[in-house]
Structure 1
């Protein structure tokens, strides 16, 4: 299923759903950040996805990281909350969503690197390489807030 992301675009379709989601900034012992290249839009992104009814948000982040990267992680903190109504995601099946995303910090506690059917590539990226990767503005914002090592989470 194809995915198109809009940001502050007056021509974006109107949302027909609101999705609660979690993502995680996972780093290795060298400070590199775990990213996936999404199959649905060919952009680099943090692992993450929608929360199931029986889950907590931290549990969602742990599950999504495992499903999308093969790593088992432990949540260690909060990067921020991201609820910008100017960000609209449209899917080829007709869903047009606004997404409420909570982005966590996490560390690897097990597993091994795997590429899921949702991605074409998964790898650790040096922070200095981030600007060269094709990535949506909202992903860059989460990474910027993580790299700023803020004393308090971003609330937006």
Structure 2
């Protein structure tokens, strides 16, 4: 029987002029790196709203205020990092946020190693997590139902 895992995460969509705040993900063994949104796992009994504020501070050094809920993304995939493999269901909650304090710094001993303001026009050229593209679609469309069509993974897009 295949194991099933659920991962709930909250992400900050933070834009300043024509730039988006991104963090660079580093795999536990350091062999993989790609750009992602600041944010991450919602801890047990933690509200996703509180999680995004905490995660952005941990990964970028900035204090943020949540402005609005942009939407939710749900996707499932097989992962091999669980002994015997597992079906992982990832649910991402995306919030538009703005900087209210702090200053940029890089996370130490975490899942990211850099924070950077990246021009939105350069994002398609980056090796990146698919959630960045989901976030940009949500930000541009601002759908009333908080849902955009799935973004396929491939090329420079990673899970």
**What's the TM-score once normalised by structure 1's chain length?**
0.77
Maintained 8 Å contact 1:25/1:106: yes
| Counterpart Cα distance in 1 of 2:117 and 2:60 | 11
Alpha-carbon spacing, 1:64–1:38, altered in 2? closer, same or farther (3 Å): same
| Counterpart Cα distance in 2 of 1:34 and 1:151 | 22
Q: Which runs of 5+ in 1 are unaligned?
A: 1-13
Structure 2 match to 1:155: 147
| Counterpart Cα distance in 2 of 1:141 and 1:47 | 14
Maintained 8 Å contact 2:25/2:35: yes
Mapping for residues 84-123 of structure 1, pairs under 5 Å:
84-85=75-76, 87-88=77-78, 91=81, 96=86, 97-116=88-107, 117=109, 118-123=111-116
Moved more, 97-106 or 114-123: 114-123
Q: Segments of 4+ in structure 1 off by > 3 A?
A: 87-96
Maintained 8 Å contact 2:74/2:91: yes
Offset, 1:52: 1.5
| Counterpart Cα distance in 2 of 1:31 and 1:62 | 22
Structure 1 match to 2:66: 75
Structure 2 match to 1:138: 131
SS state at 2:14 partner: strand
**Higher RCO (C-alpha 8 Å, min separation 6):** 1
Q: Deviations over 1:96-149 (max 9, x none)?
A: 532111010000011111111322321011111111111133331222322x14
Number of equivalent positions: 140
Offset, 1:77: 0.9
Q: CA RMSD in A?
A: 2.3
Alpha-carbon spacing, 1:72–1:101, altered in 2? closer, same or farther (3 Å): same
Moved more, 98-107 or 50-59: 50-59
